[in-house]
Chain A
Amino acid sequence: MRSDEAQAEPGEAAAGAGQRAPRRLIARDQLGALIQTLAGSGYAVIGPTVRDGAIVYDEVRGVADLPAGWTDRQEAGRYRLERREDGALFGYAVGPHSWKRFLHPPAELLWRARRTEDGFAVEAAPPSPPRFAFLGVRACELHAIAIQDRVFLGGTYRDTGYAARREGAFVVAVNCGTAGGTCFCASMGTGPGVSAGFDLALTELVGDGGHAFLVEAGSEAGATVLAGLASQPATQAALAAAEAVVEGARAGMGRRMETAGLKELLQSNPEHPRWDDIAARCLACANCTMVCPTCFCTTVSDRTDLAGGEATREKRWDSCFTADFSFIHGGAVRASRRSRYRQWMTHKLAHWIDQFGTSGCVGCGRCITWCPVGIDITEEAAAIRAQATGPGKPEVTHGDA
Chain B
Amino acid sequence: MSAAAIAEPMLPRPFRVVASRRETGDTVTLELVPLAGSVPDFAPDQFKPGQFNMVYAFGVGEVPVSLSGDPADGGRMVHTVRAVGAVSRAIAAAAPGSVLGVRGPFGSAWPMAEAEGRDLLLVAGGLGLAPLRPAIRQALARGERFGRIAILYGSRGPAEILYREELAAWGQRPGATVALTLDHADAAWEGHVGVVPDLIPGVSFDPRNSVAMLCGPEVMLRFTARALLGAGVPAERIYVSMERNMKCAVGLCGHCQFGGDFICRDGAVLRYDRVAARLAVREV
Q: Are A122 and B101 within 8 A (Cβ)?
A: yes
Selected contact of A339 from candidates B5, B10, B250, B282, CB within 8 Å: B282
Q: Are B252 and A333 within 8 A (Cβ)?
A: no
B41 interfacial by beta-carbon distance below 8 Å: no
| A-B Cβ contacts below 8 A, count | 116
What are 10 A-to-B residue pairs whose CB atoms are below 8 Å?
A119-B14, A120-B14, A121-B14, A124-B11, A156-B265, A298-B247, A302-B61, A304-B58, A326-B244, A350-B260
Report the stretch among A22-30, A82-90, A110-118 that lies at the interface.
A110-118
A299–B252 CA distance with the chains assembled, in angstroms:
10
Scan residues 190-238 of chain A and give those whose CB is less than 8 A from a CB of chain B: none
Q: Are B60 and A299 within 8 A (Cβ)?
A: no
Q: Are A354 and B260 within 8 A (Cβ)?
A: yes
Q: Which residues of B contact A343 (CB under 8 A)?
A: 257, 284
- Most chain A Cβ neighbours within 10 Å, of B85, B252, B281: B252
B62 interfacial by beta-carbon distance below 8 Å: yes
A151 interfacial by beta-carbon distance below 8 Å: yes
Q: Which residues of B contact A156 (CB under 8 A)?
A: 2, 5, 250-251, 265
B157 interfacial by beta-carbon distance below 8 Å: no
Q: Are A318 and B255 within 8 A (Cβ)?
A: yes
* CB nearest neighbor in A for B58: A120
Q: Which residues of A contact B244 (CB under 8 A)?
A: 326, 328, 333
Contact mask for chain B residues 203-243; partner A; CB cutoff 8 A; 1 contact, 0 none = 00000000000000000000000000000000000000001
Contact mask for chain A residues 322-345; partner B; CB cutoff 8 A; 1 contact, 0 none = 000111110001111011000100
* CB nearest neighbor in A for B60: A302
The 9 A-B residue pairs with the shortest CB-CB distance in the complex, in nearest-first order:
A119-B99, A297-B254, A339-B283, A354-B260, A157-B250, A304-B59, A351-B260, A329-B84, A270-B281
A226–B5 CA distance with the chains assembled, in angstroms:
41
Q: Which residues of A contact B260 (CB under 8 A)?
A: 350-351, 354-355
Whether A122 touches B245, Cβ cut-off 8 Å, given contacts A156-B2, A326-B255, is no
Q: Which residues of A contact B253 (CB under 8 A)?
A: 297-300, 315, 318
B98 interfacial by beta-carbon distance below 8 Å: yes
A131 interfacial by beta-carbon distance below 8 Å: no
A43 interfacial by beta-carbon distance below 8 Å: no
* CB nearest neighbor in A for B264: A157
* CB nearest neighbor in A for B8: A124
B118 interfacial by beta-carbon distance below 8 Å: no
Q: Which residues of B contact A121 (CB under 8 A)?
A: 14, 38
Q: Which residues of A contact B11 (CB under 8 A)?
A: 111, 122, 124
B158 interfacial by beta-carbon distance below 8 Å: no
Whether A326 touches B262, Cβ cut-off 8 Å, given contacts A151-B252, A156-B2, A297-B253, is no
Q: Are B281 and A271 within 8 A (Cβ)?
A: yes
B275 interfacial by beta-carbon distance below 8 Å: no
Contact mask for chain A residues 127-143; partner B; CB cutoff 8 A; 1 contact, 0 none = 00000000000000000
Contact mask for chain A residues 353-374; partner B; CB cutoff 8 A; 1 contact, 0 none = 0110000000000000000000
Whether A159 touches B252, Cβ cut-off 8 Å, given contacts A115-B58, A121-B14, A271-B281, is yes
A204–B35 CA distance with the chains assembled, in angstroms:
61
Whether A113 touches B255, Cβ cut-off 8 Å, given contacts A270-B281, A300-B247, A326-B245, is no
B79 interfacial by beta-carbon distance below 8 Å: no
Selected contact of B247 from candidates A155, A270, A299, A334, CB within 8 Å: A299
Q: Which residues of A contact B252 (CB under 8 A)?
A: 151-152, 155, 157, 159, 296, 298
A297–B254 CA distance with the chains assembled, in angstroms:
5
Q: What is the interface of chain B, defined by CB distance below 8 A to chain A?
A: 2, 5, 8-14, 16, 35, 38, 58-62, 84-85, 98-99, 101, 243-245, 247-248, 250-255, 257, 259-260, 262, 265, 281-284
Q: Are A298 and B248 within 8 A (Cβ)?
A: yes
A350–B260 CA distance with the chains assembled, in angstroms:
8
A118–B58 CA distance with the chains assembled, in angstroms:
13
Q: Are B101 and A120 within 8 A (Cβ)?
A: yes
Q: Are B62 and A300 within 8 A (Cβ)?
A: yes
Contact mask for chain A residues 156-175; partner B; CB cutoff 8 A; 1 contact, 0 none = 11010000000000000000
A325–B35 CA distance with the chains assembled, in angstroms:
33
Q: Which residues of B contact A188 (CB under 8 A)?
A: none
A184–B101 CA distance with the chains assembled, in angstroms:
47
| CB proximity of B76 to chain A, nearest CB, Å | 17
| CB proximity of A280 to chain B, nearest CB, Å | 16
A320–B253 CA distance with the chains assembled, in angstroms:
11
Q: Which residues of A contact B9 (CB under 8 A)?
A: 157
A239 interfacial by beta-carbon distance below 8 Å: no
- With contacts A156-B5, A318-B254 known, what are 11 further pairs, Cβ within 8 A? A111-B10, A113-B101, A122-B11, A151-B252, A155-B250, A155-B265, A270-B281, A298-B254, A300-B247, A302-B61, A315-B253
Q: Which residues of A contact B85 (CB under 8 A)?
A: 329
Selected contact of A302 from candidates B35, B62, B99, B243, CB within 8 Å: B62
A205–B174 CA distance with the chains assembled, in angstroms:
84
Q: Which residues of B contact A328 (CB under 8 A)?
A: 243-245
A10–B64 CA distance with the chains assembled, in angstroms:
45
Q: Are B283 and A302 within 8 A (Cβ)?
A: no
* CB nearest neighbor in B for A334: B283
Q: Which residues of B contact A299 (CB under 8 A)?
A: 247, 253, 255
